[in-house]
Amino acid sequence: QVQLVQSGAEVKKPGASVKVSCKASGYTFTNYPIHWVWQAPGQRLEWIGWIIPDNGNTKYSQKFQGRLTITRDTSASTAYMQLSSLRYEDTAVFFCTRGFDSSGYYGDAFDIWGQGTVVTVSS
């Protein structure tokens, strides 16, 4: 069964960092890019970045440039999203998702999604 399983909910203080994992199973991890998307309360989904597991290349949304790091461990078929210098407005659900229909301009459709990880930033 093809799936992405994410790590559990996190509560962090402002200024801290959070690292969310996304474990792939049921397919060859290095064959598909992994994207990260977030959904703040009451807001639309927003793409934040991606990684190509085969070579580790990444691309980040300008909004998160400098605070976001996406990595992968191919031996564990796992991708990671780390967001630093957390702010109250970073409270959101973070999804990892598999891209499968790339347009060639960093755009992709997403066929498999993780269950989501709630990150709450609170003092």
Partner 1 sequence: DIQMTQSPSTLSASVGDRVTITCRTSHSISSWLAWYQQRPGKAPKLLIYKASTLESGVPSRFSGSGSGTEFTLTISSLQPDDFATYFCQQYHSYSTFGQGTKVEIK
Interacting residue ranges for partner 1, rule: CB under 8 A: 35, 37, 44-47, 61, 95, 97, 101-103, 105-111, 113-116
CB closer to partner 1 out of 59 and 87: 59
CB closer to partner 1 out of 14 and 59: 59
Token pair for residue 81? 């999203």
Q: How far is the CB of 47 from partner 1 (least distance, A)?
A: 4
Q: How far is the CB of 45 from partner 1 (least distance, A)?
A: 4
Specify whether the CB–CB gap between 24 and 33 falls below 8 A. no
CB closer to partner 1 out of 17 and 111: 111
Q: How far is the CB of 55 from partner 1 (least distance, A)?
A: 20
Q: Please state, in angstroms and rounded to a whole number, the distance separating the CA atoms of residues 83 and 90.
A: 9
Burial of 12 per CB tally in 10 Å (0-12, 13-18, 19+): middle
Q: How far is the CB of 77 from partner 1 (least distance, A)?
A: 19
